[in-house]
Amino acid sequence: MGKENIQYFEDQPIRAAWDEEKEEWYFSVVDIVQVLTESADGRKYWNKLKQRLTEEGSQLVTNCHQLRLKSQKDGKRYYTDVANIEQLLRIIQSIPSKKAEPFKMWLAEVGRERIEETLDPELIAERLVSTYERKGYTREWINQRLMAISARKELTDTWKDHGIEQGREFAILTDEITKAWSGMTTRQYKNLKGLKKESLRDNMSTTELVLNMLAETATREIVNSESPEGFDENKRVAERGGKIAGSARRAIEEETGKTVITSKSAMQLNHVITQMIEASANTVAEKKE
């Protein structure tokens, strides 16, 4: 199964995963049922619906399979019923909902977009830009974030080529890089910014992003140059790559007299977000008056 993703229908998050081999989406049935029924407990509704479909002799429930998807409540992974678009269309028919038709159109659009992205990867970047713009990030920050995403992808591809396993080993090496340039573990860095499940990179300033990208790019260059073997050798390289960015951080701080690392989160860093919040607050105040 390919990379997990969060899709949005009317601003409601729906967990999904792309199957590279079959070239199709698999969606969390519970998330979709919750959106369609506007129920507080989509899982309970789906369990009852599964029971009814089984009693009616439907093979739909049998054909659905499970994936370990990350919970939006506690961030842990649990086995969750998932279904492809064809299966979901049949499930939707069993749920009385005014959102059924709009949701069918949304499913068709999601499927079409993913195929288009396979043919034209630039569309992925365009949609990322749109997503960040909707969240209120500045254009300068968005451009930097896209470059950082590209640098990260190049590094993880290089790690894979050198036998590093995705998941725990990626996390440990990333932590080594972060410690080497910032002086903190990833968890400590997130704590500084008051983050829990949120993305650290999405809450970095442009300078923090640049230094993190430098650390990851330097690590990749060293790996490509020296071809380290095994996890321990790559761990040492990750530390060296991070130290290069750490030296750059200290040079900036010496020249400016200011610390580069900030406790500010995205909401405090991006003036567009602040303006949006202030505008919203003013609108509410005007209505009260």
- Could you report the average pLDDT of every consecutive run of 10 residues in the chain (289 residues)? 74 82 82 87 88 84 83 83 86 88 81 54 68 82 88 91 86 95 94 88 92 96 94 96 97 95 84 44 44
pLDDT attached to residue 182: 96
The model's pTM is: 0.57
What is the separation of C-alpha 41 from the centre of its chain, rounded to a whole number of angstroms?
A: 24
Alpha-carbon distances of 99 from 55, 87, 102, 249, rounded to whole Å = 26, 17, 5, 51
pLDDT attached to residue 274: 47
Write out the DSSP string of 87-147. Answer: HHHHHHHTS--TTHHHHHHHHHHHHHHHHHHHH-THHHHHHHHHHHHHHT--HHHHHHHHH
Are 238 and 177 a contacting pair, CB within 8 Å? yes
pLDDT attached to residue 289: 46
pLDDT attached to residue 122: 59
Strands 77-83 and 65-70: antiparallel
pLDDT attached to residue 288: 44
Where do the domains of the chain lie?
Answer: 4-119, 136-283
pLDDT attached to residue 262: 93
Burial class (CB in 10 A: 0-12, 13-18, 19+), 273: middle
